[in-house]
Structure 1
């Protein structure tokens, strides 16, 4: 067999130049699967010379030495082509520097005038971009599925707790209000992409209905760290419940009331605090409603610690201190805003 790689364009055998002019990787095989010729781009991709693969069984060449399963698949496709069958499938082959390349392979027989298989053409196209896109889509779909399940679980928990705690005449309106709050949180998290003041932005989004005409009555502080998205939604729902209660019975129901909302984090420990002032005569209610139960249970879950609820002479204070392992998406330190 003659190496055609250095023949000039005036030589009579034009087949090799056709192979080299194609975008696809192409190899010409004997019916037994031995390599007769191959396109230059295939040799360059494999980091080999023609002499390295000439007359070798195709599935034993460099492109298939990384994976016995891939080699067996090629051997089977070649044997089928020798019987007159065409095969097509996706494969991962070995490239120069022990790299990997995703390809779309086609193995087809070449027949003479009598119908006998005299050669086999193996061709392949680079599908790396397509495969990368598919993998990204799969990852996005998996992430979306996870988020949808978490949202539905939260909605289900809201429904169960509302049914258990609300008066029958207000249960539906209470539930819809909480779903609306969850929707607002979801929108806020989708809009927020920066780590700086992420907690502050989240809290301001939840408290927007109260900040419009009472901004001076709020103090909101938090670290410059990105919250884990699912935990951020739950923390936002806690803030919503606390604000709703404050508007009905606490600091936002009186002209002199103030609310301080703070998240601190240091050394693997995080503290969330909601403090109301300017509400004289605050007393602990005899009935624990949805908000009280939800905030206590949810903060306990986020921080892996029991939340404290104190009814002081000047207003309500809710605090919890625990691990920040579930709270933040990154471990980068932040400073208070």
Structure 2
């Protein structure tokens, strides 16, 4: 029955997409509109969903629109169960347009069975009209709200100049309430000396469209205000001009500010100008003209680089042309340069060239400006010189100076401090705590780190006048006088500066001085003992005159040895220097022709030098009086050296071609010195022989008792 020709004709005549739904929700038949919609929207083109269950599709719907599908399914179920007609609107948009449909389910009884006729009606046109009407209404409300709340005064006029609208900003600007002005001619705002009537203004606006101009208007209290007006014609729905809208902006203070700015610029010694895109100067303020002794006609419409300020130097002109090209490319150019002023004088300015853009972002002008920085430039030059001098003093100071930054890293190290950090790599930027643990042992390293952190945190300075510690990296004990203070680093954050002086050399010097003082004290005591003994022995059996002569000679010999010891800083005397010093009392002819000395370079200890020197003095004195040097042809040979594998030292005195000598009958001081004192001073032995041509004397001793070794040398 459902497929009867009559039913098919009936539903095909319906313009909406239609389907007949059985009581179980199965689609039994559809009309032509349904089939066409299915084909046009990539639907089922074979059965057109006939046989599908409409209710199940609604129930199984998910995602966006599932709630609406559920509601439609429920409404259709009620219709099939005996309920009345059901309808619902739903969107069905496609890529090319937004669409809305109305689904209508009507009960249908055929041959006693319950069916539903489901229609899908396209209501997009009605929906769009509804939306447009809503938007238009809202736009009107928005426009009215905008006008009412605009910060600028908005005044509406009819073509005769009567006020038709007046917002709150207009009331604040002019002082009139809306009820006082609606319907009145706007000319009551014109000052008495106004040159144009409202009719003239309206005519210009109507004939020329949108216009911007400035006028003077008068408030309710009689104040004259400079007003910037943006005017436009008001049109009816048919396009006919029915009035004029005026946006009134009070620019009185702005114009006053602009004039004040111009006055300020003209009274500042600062260059301000305007260039066109070809680099021609088209406007300039007064100050640079006055300082250069120029007039406007001297520079206006000239290429900027050809003007008096720049034309003193081709290089300066080229630099300016390059700056103009860079500014034309959109760059803000700034640099310090010298310009010429009156009297051919050059001054430094901070020069800037900026591009000026219009509302579209296009560059329309170049704006040069400059500020006199001659004083600043001189101050910077002096500051740099001072900085360089100070830096040189710091860098090359014998004192050590280094800084630690806020991150506790080494920031700066002077030349005088680099030796201390020689084993820290890399140096600059190294963690200071790690560096100290490389240099110093515990617990001193941790203590020093704590001192630095405390000063960095609190600003409390610290000084240690004498720190003596053994270095971990080099294994040597060093001494320092050091002080730390908190400073502000170049990045603005706090840091610590350490100034220190290496006392190690001073400490070693002081120890050396103490050693020398002990040595002097010891030597002095020994020397006094020797002098005392020498005086007693010399005095025995001597007349007063003989005592003075012999004692003086012996003192001179002892003094010669002592001079060499002192000159050597108590560090020893060479054998050759010692021998020569004890022969100085001989005549030059004797020393040069009749005394021969030969031996290696050996450094004798101070004790050995004193004992051997006294013996040599006594031998030379005896030789001059009784031995080989007492006759014209007699000679002396003095030799020294080491033997037995460099373990034994020996020195000898040999007289030749002299008279026969015999041992003295008495043992005086001289014999004691020659035979005993020299031997005792070096822990050795003396052999003395009185021969037919003169005396022969030999001293042997352990080499270590006579000659200074590297270990025995003083620091």
> What TM-score range do you get, normalising by the shorter chain?
0.5 to 0.7
Q: Measure the CA separation in 2 of the matches of 1:159 and 1:184.
A: 14
Unpaired segments ≥5 residues, structure 2? 1-390, 396-400, 488-492, 711-715
**1:28-64 CA deviation, whole Å, 9 max, x = no partner?**
56xxxxx55541549x9433589874xxxx7x54314
Match of 1:283 in 2: 662
The Cα shift of 1:97 comes to 6.6
User: Do structure 1's residue 67 and structure 2's residue 441 form an aligned pair?
Assistant: yes
Match of 2:532 among 154, 157, 160: 160
Match of 2:377 in 1: none
Contact (CA 8 Å) 1:47, 1:95: kept in 2 or not?
A: no
Q: Measure the CA separation in 2 of the matches of 1:287 and 1:255.
A: 28
Match of 2:368 in 1: none
The change in CA–CA distance for 1:273 and 1:125 in structure 2 (over 3 A counts) is: same
The change in CA–CA distance for 1:95 and 1:171 in structure 2 (over 3 A counts) is: closer
Unpaired segments ≥5 residues, structure 1? 1-20, 30-34, 111-118, 332-337
The change in CA–CA distance for 1:302 and 1:36 in structure 2 (over 3 A counts) is: closer
Q: What secondary structure is seen at the aligned counterpart in 2 of 1:320?
A: strand
Aligned residue-pair number: 289
The change in CA–CA distance for 1:283 and 1:145 in structure 2 (over 3 A counts) is: same
Q: Measure the CA separation in 1 of the matches of 2:473 and 2:452.
A: 26
The Cα shift of 1:264 comes to 2.8
The change in CA–CA distance for 1:157 and 1:92 in structure 2 (over 3 A counts) is: closer
Structure with higher Rg: it is: 2
Match of 1:203 among 575, 579, 585: 579
Match of 1:123 among 485, 494, 497: 497
User: Do structure 1's residue 213 and structure 2's residue 586 form an aligned pair?
Assistant: no
User: Do structure 1's residue 87 and structure 2's residue 462 form an aligned pair?
Assistant: yes
Match of 1:148 among 520, 528, 533: 520
The change in CA–CA distance for 1:36 and 1:73 in structure 2 (over 3 A counts) is: closer
The Cα shift of 1:207 comes to 1.0
The Cα shift of 1:104 comes to 4.6
The change in CA–CA distance for 1:326 and 1:94 in structure 2 (over 3 A counts) is: closer
Q: Measure the CA separation in 2 of the matches of 1:48 and 1:280.
A: 80
Q: Measure the CA separation in 2 of the matches of 1:218 and 1:62.
A: 65
Contact (CA 8 Å) 1:181, 1:237: kept in 2 or not?
A: yes
The Cα shift of 1:279 comes to 4.3
Contact (CA 8 Å) 1:274, 1:318: kept in 2 or not?
A: yes
Match of 1:105 in 2: 482
User: Do structure 1's residue 328 and structure 2's residue 707 form an aligned pair?
Assistant: yes
Contact (CA 8 Å) 2:485, 2:498: kept in 1 or not?
A: no
Match of 2:697 in 1: 318
Q: Measure the CA separation in 2 of the matches of 1:275 and 1:326.
A: 23
The change in CA–CA distance for 1:285 and 1:136 in structure 2 (over 3 A counts) is: same
Q: Which moved more, 1:215-224 or 1:147-156?
A: 147-156
**1:170-220 CA deviation, whole Å, 9 max, x = no partner?**
555544433322332344567799xxxx53443233213324132433222
Q: Measure the CA separation in 1 of the matches of 2:469 and 2:519.
A: 35
> Under a length normalisation based on structure 2, what TM-score does the superposition of the two structures give?
0.35
The Cα shift of 1:88 comes to 0.7
Q: Measure the CA separation in 1 of the matches of 2:659 and 2:509.
A: 56
Q: Which has the higher contact order (CA 8 A, sep 6+)?
A: 1
Match of 1:179 in 2: 555
User: Do structure 1's residue 231 and structure 2's residue 608 form an aligned pair?
Assistant: yes
Q: Measure the CA separation in 2 of the matches of 1:124 and 1:25.
A: 6
Q: What secondary structure is seen at the aligned counterpart in 1 of 2:600?
A: coil
Q: What secondary structure is seen at the aligned counterpart in 1 of 2:705?
A: coil
Contact (CA 8 Å) 1:103, 1:124: kept in 2 or not?
A: no
Match of 2:653 among 262, 274, 291: 274
